[in-house]
Structure 1
Amino acid sequence: MGEQLHLNVNILNSGVFGGSWRHPDNPPTSAYTIEHYTRVARAAERAKLDAVFLADGPVLDGGLEHRSGNSFEPTVNLAHLSGVTSDIGLVGTLSSSYNDADELAHRLLGVDHLSGGRVGWNVVTTAGAAAARNFGRTAEPAHADRYTRAADVVSRVVEAWDGAADPSPQGRPVVVQAGGSTDGVELAGRLGEVIFSASQTLEEGIAYRARVKAVAERHGRRPEDVVVLPGVSTVVAATEEEARRRRATLAELVPWPYATARLSAQLGFDVSAHDPDALVPLDLLPEPDDADGSQTFYRLVLGIVRRERPTFRALLDRLGGGAGHRIVVGTPEQVADDLETWFRAGGADGFNVMPDVLPSGFDDFAEGVVPVLQARGLFRREYDGSTLRAHLGLPVRPLPLTDRPLATTW
């Protein structure tokens, strides 16, 4: 583990909470303007963060009456951000399930050149029937098939980057991956360089990080070349009481239909058909490897249900309306204490920060928490390099492509 931690900010439209767009700090349609992403990216660069992170899915959201969606395709947004920033890394999410490897390699390498070597690709396997229908399929591919295809697509994309006649200043974009399933951890350890993870407890974080690095070592890689960044949702205020009031307000603003629909997708049954104050029934929850949707978040939610035995209402509050990542509430010092504890204990190499409300919640983090981490010697005050690989301490060299699978199409 390095002496300093890494920090990304996830510009998740209006903020990580389902009702963030309804918060008094937020213009409700701000996430549909390019100025919104520009403002947060520039603030993150002033704070010397490693990267901004853009989530996405290849499907139109049918629930926009409940929550604002992603307004720009990631590579379009990253191309814009490359022109209004100079140093910060730029990570975009693009599906391995529904993109062509050759086209994807060309598109991402082009943006990497535009940015001067600051791009990362967050590889996702896309779950859900809505996305499948968007591409003319009647049902989503099986979980294992999605990961077989992902391994093949990543291998082909990296091969194309390695064979480019004119590589970018960082050699090629950084491969980012998020996965908590057995297949996902295998892909992460084999080909991922930055791993966006979801752990609710420090013990889970330590175990997950050790597991991914062990898989990387099994594939002939150096464990230090894999950077594990758990997602963390932050609610920051000047006093603990203010922070808790803000957290309570955000819980009240989450539309109930949005929260129940999201939890239903995570658990695999219709939550709205149950009494909100009834305990979540364990007998309806299969083992994680038997679940088909996003196993990462299913495992996370299942862990909470088994540990805490909550009601549906309490579970939705615990998840911030269904977002799912760990939520840290407190003063800048308290939030910094939490991040330092995880980092020093080996639960994280850094964090993918998901502010409660954007942009105000990130301003609170950048202007409050980051200076505390800097004063403790845990985070940089200036950039040491100009590429994303330099920020992350990753080498400019080819990834090993071991046991490459056969090409997979559907």
Structure 2
Amino acid sequence: MGVTGRKLNLNAFLAASGHHEASWRHADTSPERGVDIKHYLKLARIAERGLLDSVFLADGYWAHSGSLEPFTLLSALAAATKRIGLIATVETTYNEPYHVARKFASLDHISKGRAGWNIVTGAGPAAEQFSRSNHPEHHERYESAEEFVAVVKRLWDSWEDDAVRNDKGSGVLVDAAKVHEIDFIGKHFAVKGPLNIARPPQGYPVLVQAGSSETGKAFAAQLAEVIFTAQLTFEEAQTFYTDVKSRLPQYGREANELKILPGLSPVLADTEAEAKDIEDELFQLIDHQGAINRLSSRLGIDLSSHGLDDFVSLDGAQTTDQVSGMKSRHQLILDLIERERPTVRQLINRLAGARGHFTFTGTPLQLADVIEKWFLNGAADGFNIMPQIYPSGLERFVDKVIPELQNRGLFRTSYEEQTLRGNLGLARPENAFINPNPEKEVHIS
């Protein structure tokens, strides 16, 4: 069954060895390539060959990830690719708006309009890395983040689109009347402006958000253009999709102005049996004691005395209200335990594939059926693809699943536009800065 006028949006979530927690131990992966630019160049080129909208890098300051800094890495990928979008995660809690505005404007210029910002507030504590005494609470982080984004957008708007003249004849490099101080004074930030680089080619890099708590959904409905979310079932995804889309009108927005992309973490092979064999190999490589320790910490209950085949009890577990970071992921795990009543081993395996995202094991045709169902029945606008093994998992998705989606009329057969906004079907934002008193044209060296 095909569709007209609406196409899937697909992003590849890059990683060193894959999104299964034991992928780094699998024979087909090379975890040492987490700091190898050639590895990421290969992945980006595979994704671009598959006509995916974008590639995405996670980031954080509070845990060892062994990964490269996103702006540095994506700038290198921009020079080696032509059409694929480049999305970087940048926290608001441990950054300054001016720095972030400048870096994303630079990446958007380098890539000629392919940058995106995954806005996170910083789920993990990193205060001790930044000379701070404490990590802000959940609601405080979101309050600050809302103001942070407002400052960044004003800074991007501080240069009108035609401010740069480069007029050799008249000697005018920049029309100073079209470069504005923003004079932003808020509760958390006071920034004079203007930015020291011209407005990004896209106006704003695409704004992405990854939180699914109540606060996160409200934040996304107001500000985000793409949501990366974690939903374990079709029904949960439908509920989330309907909920978030229904919030848009109160902010004067339409449903097509926000793309919802649940995480999808596949293990693919030519037969279902072969795919399950790969999955079993990964399960056997899991560090069960490490997984139990992480679950104990997350749930707030000691599971160390449990056997792997004991059922998980939520007696004494932390509620979502008691958690400061990643509330939506915590609730997802609680709901999973209530719904499926798993053993410790089953819960570890369930979460190992992609940390609470939807996992799939089977053939490319079977996966295409799942993608079509979610896309056509109000559960997703596309997916954040998270192969459990890199690079083979991405190659199989591009070479086997993408052609099937194209045959069904669900996915593009060529890039429509030059920019990430264009390929996502998102409008370029108008410059919101109003200059009521244009000044005389001056020369800026």
**TM, length-normalised to structure 1:** 0.91
CA RMSD of superposed structures (Å):
1.9
What amino acid is the match of 1:221?
Answer: R
* Rounded Cα–Cα distance in structure 2 between residues aligned with 1:348 and 1:309: 27
Residue 139 of structure 1: how far off its partner (Å): 3.8
Which of 84, 89, 92 matches 2:80? 84
Following superposition, which runs of at least 4 residues in structure 1 exceed 4 angstroms of deviation? 398-401
Residue 285 of structure 1: how far off its partner (Å): 2.9
Residue 299 of structure 1: how far off its partner (Å): 1.6
Q: Indicate if the aligned counterparts of 1:243 and 1:331 stay in contact, CA closer than 8 A.
A: yes
Alignment of 1:259-408 (within 5 A): 259-272=291-304, 274-320=306-352, 323-398=355-430
Q: Indicate if the aligned counterparts of 1:119 and 1:173 stay in contact, CA closer than 8 A.
A: yes
Encode CA deviations 1:292-316: one digit per residue, 9 max, x unaligned.
Answer: 2211211211111010111222101
* Rounded Cα–Cα distance in structure 2 between residues aligned with 1:344 and 1:32: 39
In the other structure, the counterpart of 2:268 is 236
Relative to 1, partners in 2 of residues 1:265 and 1:395: Cα closer, same or farther, differing over 3 Å? farther
Which of 143, 151, 171 matches 1:156? 151
Relative to 1, partners in 2 of residues 1:380 and 1:70: Cα closer, same or farther, differing over 3 Å? farther
Q: Indicate if the aligned counterparts of 1:266 and 1:297 stay in contact, CA closer than 8 A.
A: no
* Rounded Cα–Cα distance in structure 2 between residues aligned with 1:188 and 1:258: 33
Encode CA deviations 1:332-365: one digit per residue, 9 max, x unaligned.
Answer: 0001111111111110000000001111111111
Which of 49, 61, 76 matches 2:52? 49
**TM, length-normalised to structure 2:** 0.84
* Rounded Cα–Cα distance in structure 1 between residues aligned with 2:135 and 2:418: 40
* Rounded Cα–Cα distance in structure 1 between residues aligned with 2:353 and 2:113: 36
1:95 is aligned to 2:127: no
Question: Which structure is higher in helix share?
Answer: 1
* Rounded Cα–Cα distance in structure 1 between residues aligned with 2:21 and 2:223: 32
- Identical counterparts, % of pairs: 43
* Rounded Cα–Cα distance in structure 2 between residues aligned with 1:98 and 1:360: 35
Residue 273 of structure 1: how far off its partner (Å): 5.0
Q: Indicate if the aligned counterparts of 2:19 and 2:353 stay in contact, CA closer than 8 A.
A: no
Q: Indicate if the aligned counterparts of 1:117 and 1:172 stay in contact, CA closer than 8 A.
A: no
* Rounded Cα–Cα distance in structure 2 between residues aligned with 1:139 and 1:381: 50
Encode CA deviations 1:132-163: one digit per residue, 9 max, x unaligned.
Answer: 32223444221111111111111111121122
Residue 97 of structure 1: how far off its partner (Å): 1.2
* Rounded Cα–Cα distance in structure 1 between residues aligned with 2:102 and 2:145: 17
* Rounded Cα–Cα distance in structure 2 between residues aligned with 1:186 and 1:400: 22
* Rounded Cα–Cα distance in structure 2 between residues aligned with 1:321 and 1:8: 18
Q: Indicate if the aligned counterparts of 1:52 and 1:88 stay in contact, CA closer than 8 A.
A: yes
What amino acid is the match of 1:280?
Answer: V
Q: How many residue pairs get matched?
A: 393
Which of 195, 213, 229 matches 2:227? 195
Q: Indicate if the aligned counterparts of 1:263 and 1:322 stay in contact, CA closer than 8 A.
A: no
Q: Indicate if the aligned counterparts of 1:18 and 1:259 stay in contact, CA closer than 8 A.
A: no
Encode CA deviations 1:174-225: one digit per residue, 9 max, x unaligned.
Answer: 1000111111111010100000011111111111111112222211112210
Q: Indicate if the aligned counterparts of 1:57 and 1:95 stay in contact, CA closer than 8 A.
A: yes
Larger Cα Rg: Structure 1 or Structure 2? 2
In the other structure, the counterpart of 1:32 is 35
Which consecutive residues of structure 1, in runs of 5 or more, have no partner in the other structure? 62-68, 402-410
